Amino acid sequence: MSDDIPHARRDDRPEESRRVHLGRTFDEDAELYDRARPGYPPELYDDLAELAGARPGSRVLEVGCGTGQATVPLARRGCRITAVEAGPSMAALARRNLAGAGQAEVVTAEFEKWPLPDEPFDAVVSATAFHWVDPAVRVAKAADALRPGGALAVVRTQHVAGGTEEFFVEVQRCYERFDPATPPGLRLPAAEDVDGSDHAEEVARSGRFGPTVFRRYERDLTYATADYLDLLRTYSGHRALPPAARTALLECIAALIDRRYGGRVTKRHLIELGVSRLR
């Protein structure tokens, strides 16, 4: 689908003029992020082992580890991880979460500015974070970090049609009222209509990787009203709203869930893994 159709927009394409600002919002409440974000399905880690070589003993560089939601499972599977995280609060929480989980070091730094170590990595992994890295740097620096034949593995997430579908239609009235950036008539795309080719094309343009192989996973997660609001508070677009508008938006959403949907809604998440091998 074309990007100019509102319901085909991806969740992970920040405007370049706002990328740095929005990317910094996550560090404002690392504890909330750690508690509210759902993590990733087990089969994703099986595919990281198969496709990207993220197996016991492999050296993995993780770009933008956040609070360690992908780092901890990889460490427990025996990967030797160096994780780079720009947010000091997020990095500190990742270190706490990784205590006793395996061999993992968390470096507080911006990936763009971090000096690569002399020893190359078997895999570079970035889970719901690669789009916050400078697009002029991210693919080339990932390639520089890898051994010959090493893999770049990028995980992206998207909210897609499914779950409590009527709620996500109705809730647009709240967004249109309190968030002026909301396109009118916004609708969620079906999972099969979410196009991941932009990532494959970006990697191909570098000339340093072979074709990108994709795996996709869908899952429905059910949230009570308070838990759903906590999840929304971790999203950069919500966090960047003026406080009064954000409060009014969340109150509108809470009222809709409680009055029309019995205090619970189900959201369908699409998780997409793209793996590219260094030439």
Residue for token pair 């049609």: 161
pLDDT at site 4:
35
pLDDT at site 169:
96
Q: Distances in Å between the alpha carbon of 251 and those of 57, 71, 244?
A: 48, 34, 11
Minimal CA–CA distance to 200: which of 212, 191, 209?
A: 212
Q: Is 176 exposed, middle or buried (0-12, 13-18, 19+ CB in 10 A)?
A: middle
How is residue 83 written in tokens? 């994780």
Cβ pair 277, 149 in contact under 8 A: yes
pLDDT at site 44:
98
Cα–Cα distance measured from residue 189 to residue 9, given in angstroms and rounded to the nearest whole number: 8
pLDDT along the chain (279 residues), means of 10: 40 62 72 94 98 98 97 98 96 96 95 97 97 95 98 96 97 94 90 93 97 97 98 90 95 98 98 97
DSSP 234-248: TSHHHHTS-HHHHHH
Beta partners for residue 213, in sequence order: 275
Cβ pair 272, 194 in contact under 8 A: yes
Minimal CA–CA distance to 236: which of 20, 7, 10?
A: 20
Q: How many CA atoms lie within 13 A of 67 on its CB side?
A: 18
pLDDT at site 240:
86
